[in-house]
Amino acid sequence: MHTIEDIKQRIKSGESTARAEVEAALARAKQHEDKNIFISLTPERALERADEIDEKLKSGEIVGSLAGVPFAAKDNFLTLGGTTTAAAKLLSNFEAPLQATAIEKLEAEGAICIGKTNLDAFAHGGSTENSAYGPTKNAVDDSKVAGGSSGGSAVAVALDIVPFTLGTDTGGSIRQPASFNGAVGVKPTYGMVSRYGVVAMASSTDCIGCFAGTMDDAEQVMGVIAGQDEKDMTTLADYYTPAKVKQSAKIGLIKEFMGDGVDDEVRAQVKEYAEKLTVAGHTVEEVSMPITKYALAMYYIIVPAEISSNLARFDGVRYGQRAKDATNLDELYNKSRGEGFEAENERRIMIGSYVLSSGYFDAYYLKAQKARTLLINAYNELFETYDVLLGPVAPTPAFALGENTSDPIKMYLADAMTVPASLAGLPSISVRGGTTKAGLPIGIQLTAQQQNDSELFAIAKTMESHHG
């Protein structure tokens, strides 16, 4: 595995250079082309930046904590040097005039973006099958999905192409593909990382996070991208500090996530992880959170509502693909959007329009936002006693390509265990929990109170050192 530290050491000792590391990462990306991980590679800009960093290293200038470390970003982060498509036809030629805050912060530390990874169009989906560029294949099994929506970013890390990638997680889009491919996946507290320059999906739950091979690398990346940003007024005042190792945490295992509908092998892995936590000195107790049963229903009202509003900006007027032969402005909107969106985008936009319509607003949207309060209250109650909550990331390991594409509800159910933390704005991570007998990775989900992100790293790290 190429960790951030390995790469830094190689460059520091003179064994390697930033250029050599970027070239090697690009070569690995090419070697795995059949997985359809990248929508675009940007070798020109990446190598130019690598040479700049190598120059600075030679002359002894300070070049940052990630100098020469290659990474990739989900293709909904605005970047310079290539396209930002959000995996949608509507933005297939879009070249951003600015960069996302998270990208700027990584570049300021010397990290080098080598390309943009595949996703469900506009991040709507849980399998990366809704991409206009075709699905990404699972890291370990070509017949299985990568998960999603940040499928490409998860597979890029799982196959060791780059030590870390950026993703977005609105309802599980980092944690679930991390679980499906065997990477570490981090969704921080809502507002820890600026959303500026990232294609918006649902503004009240959208979070920027990362995939990495190790907890240490994930923690380091989050430390770089975290922080208040005047360009995103929902960012929190800086609070993030490196983890303090807690000797004995109190951990609640959510009963409702271990019942029927959860794959036996997934349940067994979570139980095994719970036992290991106990051996490591933590206390694990079963807890009940009946309201989680309703979280998915809340999510599929609130999120489409926000999507229908956020995606109104894609109109074919100021940027993006414009339909040919429209004779008036209304036709231009309707055709450009109809041609530029994928079916799942349209489904969510229309559900959003429906639940926000006068006459239905109270029954759906307001009802869901009130139910969300009940969910938050249930979490708060548990956090009075427990430091961290534990459960699976997803009810199953990676499912087969095409298995859930004809039934949106079946596809949505893959998010049932990740959306609760999203609705409550909680930090939640996916850590490796072993594999099925067939070799498919299984992720374990750890969730903490708002702004207790570092506690999750601390616990996960004690587990890595105890059990590899």
Partner 1 sequence: MTQISRDDVQHLAQLSKLQLDDDEADALAADITKILGYVEQLDELDTENVEPSYQVTGIKSVWFEDEVQRSDVGREALLELAPEAVENQIKVPKVL
By annotation, the residues acting in catalysis are 74, 149, 173
Q: Nearest Cα to 74, choosing from 219, 200, 198, 201?
A: 198
User: Least CB distance from residue 281 to partner 1, whole Å?
Assistant: 32
Output 83 or 436, the one with its CB closest to partner 1: 83
34 vs 325 by CB, closer to partner 1: 325
Residue 37 and residue 87 in contact, taking contact as beta carbons nearer than 8 Å: no
Query: Are residues 150 and 168 in contact, defined by beta-carbon separation less than 8 angstroms?
Result: yes
| Smallest separation, CB 290 to partner 1 (Å) | 10
Minimal distance, residue 334 CB to partner 1, in Å: 4
H or E, element range at 284: strand 283-287
Rounded Cα–Cα distance for residues 155 and 35 (Å) = 8
Neighbouring C-beta atoms of residue 153, cutoff 10 Å? 41
The smaller minimum CB distance to partner 1, of residues 351 and 431, is found at 351
Helix ranges restricted to H, 182-293: 215-225, 264-279
Q: Cβ 226 to partner 1, closest distance in Å? A: 14
Nearer to partner 1, 43 or 81 (CB): 81
- CA-closest candidate to residue 229, choices 203, 196, 206: 196
Nearby residues of 468 by Cβ (< 8 Å), 6 or more positions away: none
**440 class by beta-carbon count within 10 Å (0-12 exposed, 13-18 middle, 19+ buried):** buried
Minimum distance from residue 346 beta carbon to partner 1 (Å): 6
- CB crowding 205-216: b at 16 or more within 10 Å, else e: bbbbbbbbbbbb
Contact assessment for residue 145 and residue 130, using Cβ atoms and an 8 Å cutoff: no
Select 268 or 297, whichever has its Cβ closest to partner 1.
Answer: 297
